[in-house]
Amino acid sequence: MNNLSSAAQRQAFDEQGYLLVRGVLNEQDFVPIRRVIASTIDHRAKELYDTGKISSLYEDLSFYHRLTRILRESQGGPLLSWNWNKEVFSREVYELITHPKILDIVASLIGPELTVNGDYWIRFKMPTGGESVFPWHQDSIYYNGNVDPGQQVPLSEESQILTVWIPMVDVDERNGCLQVISGSHKRGLRPSHRDENRRLVPVEDVESWGEVQNVRMKVGDVFVFGNLTFHHSLENTSEDIRWSIDLRYSPTGSPLEWLLQKWPGFIARSQQQPETVESWEMWEAKRTPPEPI
Ligand SMILES: O=C(O)CCC(=O)C(=O)O
């Protein structure tokens, strides 16, 4: 897993179903998004404090420890991991999703006509050991599982949907890094069933199919994988939250209207029709429901 030329990146991605690119972003690139998260945590803390669910705003705690403390007190039992999308919808997220270095990597894998799908997630993987495990899955199985019964839509596995996974702290086996199975995407979409937590887990022993890779990453590295690549994340046995953001892209014109209706996205790059690229204001207008008349 090294930095390679575009053609070699593409070849490695096609072969393995994933690609790790080191040192893409720098500390400065994260400043705006950290600010958005900190302000959302602040807002959430005030809500919980005002409704008597926490006894303090814990403003003296660091960015990383504050949310754990707030959730420990408000949730009582084991901490549930959180995913935020609309809570952090902002120009700062748009800037990160359209970061030229990220778009260059995505374009090297799926071509120059790029649509951002609106289902990005900021994830807080809580320091709760086994509770924090995310089981093996292919993203397509979740997409298909989210389609309403009876809705006739093209299956998601017929499209390329790329995830760009970006840690906001260094990640390894201790704090729940991702694992992937090399070459697993070549087997197509596999059967799964719902476990006791309603999560879709494979019925087959996927770990026996190929090399299971631990995806150890430093802040600034990005990890890209496809919607058929089996991946999961390990327990977070550390004391701290594992923060990450995952972004999603497809070739423009992919038959994903059902996804874009649910999570409106935008055209992020186009070589053929550069005038179709959509600004933050255009994305914001798509995501903001019209005022009632
Ligand atoms: O961040 C994680 O722990 C899991 C992420 C994941 O499964 C995904 O982005 O599809």
Domain boundaries, the chain: 8-27+80-287
CB of 119 closer than 6 angstroms to any ligand 1 atom: no
246 touches ligand 1 (CB under 6 Å): yes
Residue 170's pLDDT band (cuts 50, 70, 90): very high
pLDDT at residue 149 in the model: 62
Q: Give nearest CA residue, ligand 1 atom 9.
A: 246
As a whole number, the mean pLDDT across the chain is: 91
Q: Does the CB atom of residue 244 touch ligand 1 within 6 A? A: yes
Please name the residue ranges forming H helices in 62-206.
63-75, 91-97, 100-110, 139-146
The CB of 242 under 6 Å from ligand 1? The reply is no
Query: Which H/E stretch holds residue 27?
Result: helix 27-50
Is the CB of residue 248 below 6 angstroms from any atom belonging to ligand 1? no
Name the token pair of 160. Answer: 């390329």
Q: How many Cβ atoms sit within 10 Å of the Cβ of residue 262?
A: 14
Superfamily of domain covering 8-27+80-287: q2cbj1_9rhob like domain (2.60.120.620)
Ligand 1 atom nearest 244 alpha carbon: 1
Summarize pLDDT for 118-154 with one digit per residue, the tens. 999 999 998 887 777 889 999 999 888 766 666 677 7
Secondary structure (3-state) at 149: coil
Nearest CA to ligand 1 atom 3: 233
Q: Would you say residue 89 has pLDDT above 90?
A: yes
Identify the residue with better confidence: 41 or 17: 17
Predicted TM-score (pTM) of this structure: 0.93
Q: Which residues of 264-273 are buried (b: 16+ CB within 10 A; e: fewer)?
A: bbbbbbbeee
**Is the CB–ligand 1 distance for residue 235 below 6 Å?**
no
